[in-house]
Amino acid sequence: MKSLTLYSEQNTIIHKINPMDKIMYIVVSILIPIIIPKITVGLIYLSISIFILLIGKVFKKVIPLLGFSSILLFSIILIQGLFKADNITPIFSVGNFIFYKEGLFYALKICIRVLNILCSFSILILT
């Protein structure tokens, strides 16, 4: 009988890492981009997580999860770009809807953080 698990049996260096170390990576990769709220910091940790998933040969299993969450992320971009309270600088408009720079950058930070969280937890669950 096959067990119900998302774990993928592979012979990679990522699979041999202690699960507690993976949990520490999750904590660090989530907290540092929150403590240092720069887009580049979030992108660095997201890139590291994707690189680890690629080394672990499990990135293909994460793609459906990222695709499903893209619906939520698109709605975050739409809502923040249009309706964030401190929107000042318009970037472009579509009909009567004006997208603002401040809202889009804020939404971009949120999206990067969500993708980073998903990829970081996928490292623990899949490897």
Assess whether pLDDT exceeds 90 at residue 89. yes
For the segment 13-57, what is each residue's pLDDT rounded down to a tens digit?
A: 998 999 999 999 999 999 999 999 999 999 999 999 999 999 999
**Residue 124: CB partners within 8 Å, gap ≥ 6?**
19, 22, 23, 26
7 falls in which pLDDT band (50, 70, 90)?
confident
For the chain, how long is the longest CA-to-CA vector? 59
For the whole model, what pTM was predicted? 0.90
Instruction: Using the Cα atoms of residue 77, residue 78, residue 84 and residue 90 in order, give the sign of their dihedral.
Output: positive
Q: How far apart are CA 59 and CA 119, in angstroms?
A: 9
Kindly report the backbone phi and psi dihedral angles of residue 5, in degrees, each rounded to the nearest multiple of 5, phi listed first: -150, 155
All structural domains of the chain with their residue ranges: 19-126
